[in-house]
Amino acid sequence: MSDLSHTPSPLEHVLETCLYVKSAPKAAAWYEDALGVTPVFVTDRMANFPLGPSTLLLFTLGQTGDDIKSEDGMIPHHGPTPDLLSLLNQEGGKSLLNQHFCFAVDKPDDVDKWENRLRKKDVKVLSTMTWQKGGKSVYFEDLDGHIGEIGSRGIWPHW
C-alpha cells in the first residue's frame, strides 16, 4: 500500500497569467480604462490585477531577465531571451508575441454586454464565436496586440 501523505493535492486553477508588454504602466492604464479592472500595484517593471481566484500580470519586456533574490527565496528570471528582445521591442512594428488569454464571465448575455463596452471604448473587436455547448466569446486586441477573449460558460466541458 502506498503512503498517500506523499501525494500532492490536485491542481485547482491557474493562479497567474502573464503577458509581456512594451510598458507595464501604459498597458495597466489601458486595461483599467477598457476593461474596468483595477490594478493592485503598477511599477515600471510590472502591473498586477486580481481577477477572482486568478491574477493577471503585465510585465514590461526586458525587465524580467534577472533573478530576484531575497532572504525569503528567489523568483527566477523569465520572459523572452535577450536575442528576441530586439525584435519584440521594435518601434512602430506590429506586435510579434500575440499572446492569447481568456477572461471568464457566467452567461452568453454577459459576453454581449462586454462586446458593447469594448466597442464603446474603441477597443478593436476582432470577432465573436458561438460555441456548440452554448457558450459565447468575443475576441479583442489589447494595446500590445495580444488577443484577448471574454468567454461564457458553455465553451469547454468544465466551463
Structure confidence by residue, pLDDT tens digits, 24-69:
999 999 999 999 999 999 999 999 999 999 999 999 999 999 999 9
Does 5 reside within a domain?
no
Whether the pLDDT of residue 1 is over 60: the answer is no
pLDDT band for 93, please (50, 70, 90 cuts).
low
Domain that holds residue 33: 16-65+81-152
Let me know: does 144 contact 97? Beta carbons within 8 Å. yes
**For residue 117, what is the enclosing H or E element?**
helix 108-120
Categorize the per-residue pLDDT at 84 as very low, low, confident or very high, splitting at 50, 70 and 90. confident
Residue 111 placed within a domain: yes
CATH of the domain at 112: 3.10.180.10
- Is residue 89 within 8 Å of residue 79, measured between CB atoms? no
Q: Could you tell me if residue 37 is inside a domain?
A: yes
pLDDT on residue 87: 79
> For the segment 94-147, what is each residue's pLDDT rounded down to a tens digit?
667 889 999 999 999 999 999 999 999 999 999 999 999 999 999 999 999 999
Instruction: Give the pTM.
Output: 0.90
Specify if 119 maps to a domain. yes
**Domains: count for the chain:** 1
3-state secondary structure of 131: coil
